[in-house]
Amino acid sequence: MQSLATTARKLLTGLVAALFIGLTLLPAVQIVLRLVGKPFIGAEELTRFFLICMIFLSYPLVVAAKENIVMAELKNHLPRKLRWCVEVFIDLASAVLTFYVSYAAYFTVMKNLKNATPTLQIPFWLFLASTFAAFFLSGFIHLSDLYSRLTGRAPSAGNR
């Protein structure tokens, strides 16, 4: 199970890195192409696609690394039992909310299966699928943290 999570994290990191490279190179290529009189029609649309997907697909990596905002400074000043209760609440609320967003994204994907961007005809569901995948994966990470906390084990990475 741990190796599956590690493999998934590496694949997702690679995908996010590829999107970042595309996001960085595409405007530079567009500038060069404009200088030679051959602009890439739709470059802005593709850049926006890379940006949206990169941001959403980065979210599970942030959650897995325990780098999302959890107000650690405030929690660290609470008594131990109250801190545990707050952490359980945060894990539970985070799981519920991320699964709710993925649920909403799923139905939005279903309603937009035939819609596409105007220039490059990138299907809208691709944009929305990154939202669904990001929040769905993050929900499982939050559930894993909750399970670990309730069974007396610390969550796998960081110190939420």
pLDDT band at 157 (very low <50, low <70, confident <90, very high): low
Which residue is associated with the tokens 């569901």? Answer: 125
pLDDT of residue 70: 72
pLDDT band at 136 (very low <50, low <70, confident <90, very high): very high
- Is residue 159 scored above 60 in pLDDT? no
Query: What per-residue confidence (pLDDT) applies to 129?
Result: 92
Per-residue pLDDT at 158 exceeds 50: no
Helix (H, G, I), strand (E, B) or coil at 127: helix
Q: How far apart are CA 136 and CA 98, in angstroms?
A: 7
CB 144 within 8 A of CB 60: no
Tell me, what's the pLDDT at 127?
85
pTM value surpassing 0.85: no
Q: What is the pLDDT of residue 7?
A: 87
* pLDDT for the residue 76: 85
Residue 15: burial class (beta carbons within 10 Å; 0-12, 13-18, 19+): middle
The answer to whether the CB of 105 falls within 8 A of the CB of 132 is yes
Residue range 60-108, pLDDT digits in tens: 999 998 887 777 788 888 999 999 999 999 999 999 999 999 999 999 9
Let me know the angle formed at the C-alpha of 79 by 75 and 83, rounded to the nearest 5 degrees: 45
Q: How high is the pLDDT of residue 2?
A: 64
Smallest CA-to-CA distance from 128 within 118, 114, 143, 141 is with 114
Q: For all residues of the chain together, what is the average pLDDT?
A: 89
CA-CA distance, 70 to 90, in Å (whole number)?
Answer: 8
Cα atoms in the Cβ-side hemisphere of radius 13 Å centred on 102: 20
